[in-house]
A and B are shown apart, each in its own frame.
Chain A
Amino acid sequence: MPDELLHLPAVERILARHQGTPGALLPILHAIQQDIGFVPDAAVAEIAHALNLSQAEVRGVITFYHDFHTTPPARHTLRLCRAESCQSRGAEALAAQLREQLALDDHGTSADGAISLRPVYCLGACACSPALELDGQVHARLTPERLRELVNGCREDAAC
């Protein structure tokens, strides 16, 4: 993965910024993911070295937390809330609709790289369930029609 090395200057900058912060690992991983979109494997050794940790420790943290990803994301990330409040308002049917419309499972990425699906457990929008988060924006009081529109929107901008 030589192109991953292209990300190293960004990683170095982030490490320099957080060096000296107590408990810096999560802020560093968040910053890298924000900047690059994922945590490239090439960053692990750099982080471990900077924080005086073993690479296994850094990998252990990356894999423990659902938020951190080690591969590039799709153009859009759709996180449908699957927790109890949204379930009581039809989230499971919406999940089935998504699986069918995108021919994906709950954790999949579409073949054209347009959209990644991920479950999320509560967005704090439970008074207006069901809810989802699309590229950081929460949509609540979701209907099957609205969900279809949002997905179509993601696919259309991928086509151009």
Chain B
Amino acid sequence: MLTVYVPCDSVARAVGADQVVDALQREALQRQLPLDVQRTSARGLYWLEPLVECDSVQGRVGFGPVTPQDVPSLFDALLGEAVGHALALGPVEAIPYLKTQQRLLFARAGITRPLSVEDYRAHGGFAGLEAAVAMKGDDVVASVLDSGLRGRGGAAFPAGIKWRTVRGATGGQKYVVCNADEGDSGTFADRMLMEGDPFLLIEGMIIAGLAVGADRGYIYVRSEYPDAIRTLNQAFVVAREAGYLGANVAGSGKAFELEVRVGAGAYICGEETALLESIEGKRGIVRAKPPLPALEGLFGLPTLVHNVLTLASVPIILAKGAAFYRDFGMGRSLGTMPFQLAGNIRHGGLVERAFGLTLRELVEGYGGGTASGRPLKAAQVGGPLGAWVPPSHFDTPLDYEAFAAMGAMLGHGGVVVADDTLNMASMARFALQFCAEESCGKCTPCRIGSTRGMEVVDRLIASQDITDRHDHALLLRDLCDTMQYGSLCAMGGMTAYPVASALKYFPADFGLTQTEAAQ
């Protein structure tokens, strides 16, 4: 029996993985050859998708990107009837892109079948939960604190401190809420994890629930991710049957239940308090803090809110120890981060590394430069609210503090690369337009400022008069300041980042000279 592995990941499917599987099965039938196609998660080497793997003496070897037309010749290669193949990649784990990564969260990516609890256990799954069940809640919280784990959703707040607050909160009912809204353009690590390794997130949420004293969790998934929603719901059923969800979780004597809630196309619902409002069935309007969600969160009760990647890091910390985890990284950015390479990039995909490698290593090393082959112009790091970073700043290490120091942010680790054909004035306008469309409307600088900002950019670009353009640039910068300092949440507050960075580093795109922009 010939076994091949093809990802069931939604983006592998979006570039033809299902058609390749059909072609493989047709070809096998024609050759009267028994074939076993295993649908695994994706490796995250997206430029090679659809990536077909099979077992060999050297471990799994890969072929990609495969089209249905390649399948007959692929069979010849698989059966040893042909030497080599144009798409042969050799042992997949020896591909430098993958080999040099430090995969903790994505250790199973591309290897296991997402809904197989046996695969999950065989590759280290549930070891963290078993450790946690044997520990006191306070010690679990202490481990998370010691690991140095910070929230991966954007704000990078120390996770352990939140855990301590929720654990210490009085009252009966508490909740764990997973923020799987992943609205940032250029990010897809949450999606990959939920589609490819759902038990890791489930395990992290169970540990969190046991530690803070919550017996109920919600995963708020954006509606744009139907595959993730389906996979999670199926994984709950499997986990329940295996005794990991329900009245007596993993023999702990404690209950924990999970439910998926589906978003409805509002970017602001990624903001944690808007997200809680949304789960409660309301409009996604941001709440003023305090009260902190940790004390008065979902339905007014103590709630631990974390991003997918934050919660999924927890089983690793519990299984291998806080010291193991904090050995990765630099400064106060500890552990690993799955960076996501997107946009105009040759080798788009997921790169999990300890914090501290430079943006250049990521974009030029892993990414291989632009897909178009044209000169690299900028990279937007951290989603639509992140700054556009010019290549002159690419030697900055990927570290929360280093990025903050240059007026940028790491956010959720997404990196969108642009070549010299992308006009930064139109990207600045887009950032303001996006803010205008997605603002919750609670505060004026965000609700009105974004629309006014769009108008200013339009007038600036259209103006034939240099003094006039200069005045508009001044106005735009003022507006950025007002939005940055006068908004309730980062939606209005950080829309200034892409706008101000575009203006600062790419004045020519606005019809300004360097000195005008600097004034």
Residue numbers of A with Cβ under 8 A of B are 22-27, 29-30, 51, 60-61, 64-68, 83-89, 120-129, 131, 133, 136-141
List residues of chain A with CB within 8 A of the CB of B280.
Answer: 22-23
List residues of chain A with CB within 8 A of the CB of B47.
Answer: 127-128
Contacting pair A138 B264 (CB below 8 A): no
Known A-B contacts A126-B348, A138-B13, A139-B14; A88 and B417 likewise in contact (beta carbons under 8 Å): yes
Known A-B contacts A26-B278, A126-B185; A60 and B283 likewise in contact (beta carbons under 8 Å): yes
Contacting pair B427 A140 (CB below 8 A): no
- One of B106-114, B324-332, B336-344, B397-405 at the interface: B336-344
List residues of chain B with CB within 8 A of the CB of A65.
Answer: 264-266, 283-284
- One of B91-99, B218-226, B239-247, B503-511 at the interface: B218-226
Contacting pair A129 B343 (CB below 8 A): yes
Contacting pair B262 A125 (CB below 8 A): no
- What is the chain B residue whose CB lies nearest that of A133? B224
Contacting pair A84 B265 (CB below 8 A): no
Contacting pair B262 A30 (CB below 8 A): yes
- Assembly CA distance A113 to B342 (angstroms): 35
Contact of A22 among B299, B349, B380 (CB under 8 A): B299
Contacting pair B340 A126 (CB below 8 A): yes
Shortest CB-to-CB span from A56 to chain B, Å, is 11
Chain B positions 184-230 with a Cβ under 8 Å from a chain A Cβ: 184-188, 191, 223-226
Contacting pair B15 A141 (CB below 8 A): yes
- Assembly CA distance A102 to B434 (angstroms): 25
Known A-B contacts A84-B186, A122-B184; A127 and B299 likewise in contact (beta carbons under 8 Å): no
Over the window 173-189 of chain B, the binary record of Cβ atoms lying under 8 Å from chain A Cβ atoms (1 yes, 0 no) is 00000000011111110
Chain B CB within 10 A, most for which of A24, A25, A60, A123: A123
List residues of chain B with CB within 8 A of the CB of A89.
Answer: 343-344, 371
Q: Is B128 an interface residue (CB 8 A)?
A: no
Known A-B contacts A122-B185, A126-B343; A87 and B430 likewise in contact (beta carbons under 8 Å): yes
Q: Is B335 an interface residue (CB 8 A)?
A: no
Contacting pair B224 A120 (CB below 8 A): yes
- What is the chain B residue whose CB lies nearest that of A141? B15
Shortest CB-to-CB span from B233 to chain A, Å, is 13
- Assembly CA distance A137 to B19 (angstroms): 13
Contacting pair B11 A124 (CB below 8 A): yes
Contact of A64 among B13, B182, B284, B345 (CB under 8 A): B284
- Assembly CA distance A120 to B386 (angstroms): 19
List residues of chain B with CB within 8 A of the CB of A138.
Answer: 10-11, 13-14
Contacting pair B434 A121 (CB below 8 A): yes
Contacting pair A87 B422 (CB below 8 A): yes
List residues of chain A with CB within 8 A of the CB of B387.
Answer: none
Known A-B contacts A64-B283, A88-B422; A140 and B15 likewise in contact (beta carbons under 8 Å): yes
Contacting pair B384 A26 (CB below 8 A): no
List residues of chain A with CB within 8 A of the CB of B13.
Answer: 138
Chain B positions 1-38 with a Cβ under 8 Å from a chain A Cβ: 10-11, 13-15
- What is the chain B residue whose CB lies nearest that of A125? B11
Shortest CB-to-CB span from A27 to chain B, Å, is 7
Shortest CB-to-CB span from B178 to chain A, Å, is 15
- Assembly CA distance A23 to B283 (angstroms): 12
Shortest CB-to-CB span from A32 to chain B, Å, is 12
